[in-house]
Structure 1
Amino acid sequence: MYKLPIKLYRAAQVRELDRIAIQERGIPGFELMSRAGYAVFQCLRNKWPYARSVAVFCGSGNNAGDGYIIARLAMDAGLSVTVYCVWDPGRLTGDALAAYQQFAEVKGTVVQFQSGLDIEADVTVDALLGTGLDRPVTGAYAEAIAFINTHQKHVIAVDIPSGLNADTGNVMACAVKAECTVSFIGLKQGLFTGQAADYCGEIFYASLAVPDDVFEAVPSRTVRVIKTRMPDRERCAHKGHYGHVLIVGGDQGFSGAARMAGEAALRVGSGLVSIATRPEHAGLMNMNRPELMCHGVRNAGQLRSLLEKADVIIVGPGLGQSDWASELFSVAVNSQKPLVIDADGLNLLARAPFAKPNWILTPHPGEAGRLLQCSTAEVQQDRFASAAAMQAKFGGVAILKGAGTLIASEHELAVSTSGNPGMASGGMGDVLAGVIAGLLVQGLALKDAAQQGVHIHGLAADLAVEKDGERGLLASDLMDPLRQLVNS
């Protein structure tokens, strides 16, 4: 197994990688299949060293060929092995047929799968369907997937959990819920966003010894986000060196949103943070965080002087959609300062869309649907396409929040897998907006501030749940972990 690569690929790109490796680099297809089977078997042995029995579920394509090789390796190691097929192995073709024939030569056991079978195994190998799936799973395949999910304990998926779309991460009617997945050659982008989070388990990678120049021949603009180190501070630094964030928000009943965004910006290192809010809130908002400078603003005229002093502006946390909100939104987004647009700032933008090159949009799928004038379901149908469409329409950087948050910039589409279900609580988006603005104001480029902000935000949530668990996590619980992360 290897460290997960940064680059991600669509299914068609992986097929091209395969073609180049086989046809142009002269690596026999059966050799690649054998390496794949060996990688999965090694992972199986490492993860479950005491396993003595293996059930391998095989379908009709090259994924099945991998399965038959895994079954033969398990037999060679002295394990009890049974292959359950949903496709007559005699009808396989090419390398997959050769893999089956090798298994048959060593008297391997193959049983036609039926849902009423009594199957007992320490580990189940899912080799039913591969990355080429483009329609809902039905028939015997659906029955086998349901059986695996209901009856089998430890499940390892070959290349991708059967039933999962390799490009979108969506479940095609049903999918295997694996404890781990071993992906080959090109890491599939669909493993890292959307519904995939509930199906892939731990993801491992095997390059199958494909030469590096093969990957250079198939460019990809999709990457995983990894944490990068913040630059060290000079001993003679002062607050003016690290920027001034202004937050515009906090309508009646929503003062906490702007307050949390402000503290998050401070916790990741912003030199100064001001909040422009309803006058009724200004005297109270910083009672337990006096470092925040809170200003009561009644109209756009009073906001302009604050905009002049700011380096980065957040518009939206708790802003509402009243006439007051619309007036402040209009003057803020017409400034030339870098912007982070969140929450009701996004809803106001959806009313009268326009583009800017120097802002970061942070919608969840519902807000993204309003920005793209489509349903939430349509957004989620292909999250990669939706994030790219928002960036193309609005410019700057577009974030699509959710499991496997996407960050779309002009030339790159990134995915961050940090975070956990405990983040399904109010205020998390406000904290994210503050984190991104706090990084942006310290000199990170627009793309980098968005990518690192999303990733650090999720990592902070992961740290926050280590001791007490996910349920009951509050957005404000992220503040101390955020400070730890930007200093590590």
Structure 2
Amino acid sequence: MKPQTGCEPLYSAAQVRELDRIAIEVRGVPGYELMTRAGAAAFAALRRHWPEARRVHVLCGAGNNAGDGYVLARLARAEGWYASVGWLAAPERLQGDARTAWEDAVEAGVTVAPFDAGRLTACEVIVDGLLGTGLQRGVEDDWAAAIAAVNASGVPVLALDIPSGLAADTGRVLGTAIRAALTVTFIGRKVGLYTGQAADHVGEVVFAGLELPADLAADMSPRSWLAGPDYAAARLAPRPRTAHKGAFGHVLIVGGQPGMGGAVRLAGEAAARVGAGLVSIATDPGQVPGVLAGRPELMVAGVTGPQELEPLLARATVIALGPGLGQGRWSRALFERLLRSELPLVLDADALNLLADAPLRRDDWILTPHPGEAARLLGCTTAEVEADRAAAVCRLQERYGGVAVLKGAGSLVCAGDGLWLVPGGNPGMASGGMGDVLTGMIAGLRAQGLAAAEAAVTAVWLHAAAGDRAARAGERGLLAGDLLAELRGLVNPAQGTAHDPHA
């Protein structure tokens, strides 16, 4: 994949191991020097995060992850800290640079002993150097017991490279995993730190490049891209002073069966709030008064069947199909008609469930399933989707074409030529209507001329950022409509409000 403006590359564990090998064998950086840099970077991050701390207990396993831990303990001891190590793999069995790190730590006066859960509460910070990125199977026995003791200790944890027990490529917990307050990851950012179950385990993620050359990965294609605020800002240029509403597209939102008018109303306002010039709603006739009363800027038409869509389609630029649609006769008739349209489509909710019943592939649509809908589209279980979210969204795109968005913690966007991971968001967004807002945002950005993948990634980032801003008052009780008030500031980066969702 080509470099992406406003994105950072994400790599698999195997790719990062290869970068490590290139640094040592091709670029000539000694392995122990890299290990020392890693330990130093982690210790510096620890001091910034916990400036009052002076007692650290490091847990070490059997590989280079343990070596990083021994280095950190030695550096802490050199600064006058009380530094101790509890090991689960006898250090006498260590090899190479990790063994050197252990020997140097002992020589520096670091206390090294077998793991003892009783020592966990005698320190101010625990450092997790148990299991690194190479973990492939479930954590068991003494290792699982140690992780459970750490998580129960109440002492904050810094994880080296990745929290032990978390799969580096998927973000899946392999039996049990450390719950860290801070994770310092080295050489390359790992996909699994940003999606799946990672949000419950990584805490704040700090990247340390270890002073390696910027072109180290020049010949390596990242597994995916981590989209940041600059991605959105680069695609939200200031408007010319002569702009008019006809220049920013006309979104048609279709859905809202009886009792579900709120879904199309949320989607419609979201499309308008991200800058669509015009927004029309096609809904059940009984929903028209409520939608108009809630947002009079929307144009709302009651439709009893697909024939009444024709004048609306003649004016539309993009169609968003699915919010509150249902799966009855009326819903299916509208769905079948709109699939024959040549306009770009954004599909969500029941439109995706109807698609799962009659699979179809096309190149000009954006599909926005949550994991349950994705499972129906793929004919598998939700657990299988969540076990490897990146693989699942790529399968969706391969099967159905266009652009696929897999919503959830660490949302993913897959197009034929790229995969993006979007961080941010919070548990308060697990409430009704959030998907309707996102659907409207994607359609609104698509109507303004953004390419399908750009519209999807930008909207997902803005959606998460708006949710995080709205959650300042508390996550519990957060409503989808609360995001709408935040969007106006976020989509105007030239005014200095879009770069930091927490500003």
Q: Is the counterpart of residue 42 in structure 1 residue 69 in structure 2?
A: no
Aligned equivalent of 2:479: 474
Show the 5 A alignment for 1:5-404. 6-115=8-117, 119-227=121-229, 228-229=232-233, 230-404=236-410
Structure 1 residue matching 2:25: 3-state secondary structure: helix
**After alignment, is 141-150 or 340-349 more displaced?**
141-150
Q: Distance in 1 between matches of 2:111 and 2:391?
A: 44
* Post-superposition CA distance 1:146-181 (Å, at most 9, x none): 111111422100000000000000111010000000
Structure 1 letter corresponding to 2:170: T
Q: CA separation in 1, counterparts of 2:113 and 2:284?
A: 71
Conserved 8 A contact 1:159-1:184: yes
Deviation at 1:288, TM superposition (A): 2.6
Secondary structure of 1:7's counterpart equals strand
Provide Cα deviations, 1:255-291, integer angstroms capped at 9, x if missing partner: 1101110011011111111111112222332113111
Measure, in 1, the Cα distance between the counterparts of 2:409 and 2:217. 27
Give the deviation of 1:196 after TM superposition: 0.2
Supply the distance in 2 between the matched residues of 1:167 and 1:87 (Cα, whole angstroms): 24
Where 1:57 maps in the other structure, the secondary structure is: strand
Q: Which residue in the other structure is 2:426 paired with?
A: 420
Decide which moves more: 391-400 or 234-243.
Answer: 234-243
CA contact (8 A) 1:124 1:152 kept: no
Shift of 1:304: 2.1
Contact 1:194–1:380 (CA<8 Å) still a contact in 2?
Answer: yes
**Structure 2: 5+ residue runs without aligned partners?**
1-5, 494-503
> Equivalents in 2 of 1:308, 1:31: separation in Å?
66
| Structure 1 Cα separation of the partners of residues 253 and 121 of structure 2 | 59
Q: Count matched residues.
A: 484
* TM-score, normalised with respect to structure 1: 0.97
Identity %: 54
Which structure 1 segments of 5+ residues have no match? none
Contact 1:307 1:332 (C-alpha < 8 Å) held by counterparts: no
The whole-number CA distance in structure 1 between the counterparts of 2:50 and 2:227 is 30
Deviating beyond 6 angstroms after TM superposition, the runs of 4 or more aligned structure 1 residues are none
Q: Is the 8 A contact 2:121 2:155 kept in 1?
A: no
Amino acid at match of 2:128: D
User: What is the rounded CA distance, in whole Å, between the counterparts of 2:126 and 2:223 in structure 1?
Assistant: 35
Checking the alignment, whether the CA contact within 8 Å between 1:83 and 1:109 is kept in structure 2 is yes
Counterpart secondary structure, 2:66: helix
- Report the alpha carbon displacement of residue 217 of structure 1 after superposing the two structures with TM: 2.2
Instruction: For residue 225 of structure 2, give the secondary structure of its aligned residue in structure 1.
Output: strand
Structure 2 contact 282–301 (Cα < 8 Å) conserved: yes
Give, in whole Å, the separation in 2 of the partners of 1:221 and 1:8: 6
Structure 2 CA distance for aligned equivalents of residues 370 and 345 of structure 1: 12
Residue 138 of structure 1 deviates from its aligned partner by: 0.7
How far residue 133 of structure 1 moved from its aligned partner, in angstroms, is 0.3
Aligned equivalents of 2:444 and 2:164: distance in 1? 41
Give, in whole Å, the separation in 2 of the partners of 1:59 and 1:5. Answer: 33
Deviates most, 138-147 or 185-194: 138-147
Deviations along 1:307-352, one digit per CA (max 9) or x if unpaired, are 1210000000000000110110111121111110000000000001
User: What is the rounded CA distance, in whole Å, between the counterparts of 1:358 and 1:352 in structure 2?
Assistant: 18
Cα deviations by residue, 1:48-75 (Å, 9 ceiling, x for unpaired): 1211111000000100000000010010
**Which residue identity lines up with residue 364 of structure 1 in the other structure?**
H
1:413 counterpart letter in structure 2: L
Q: Where does residue 498 of structure 2 map in the other structure?
A: none
- Output the TM-score relative to the length of structure 2: 0.95
When structure 1 is superposed on structure 2, of 106-115 and 411-420 the one drifting more is 106-115
Contact 1:11-1:188 within 8 A present in 2 as well: yes
**In structure 1, distance between residues paired with 2:36 and 2:359:** 53
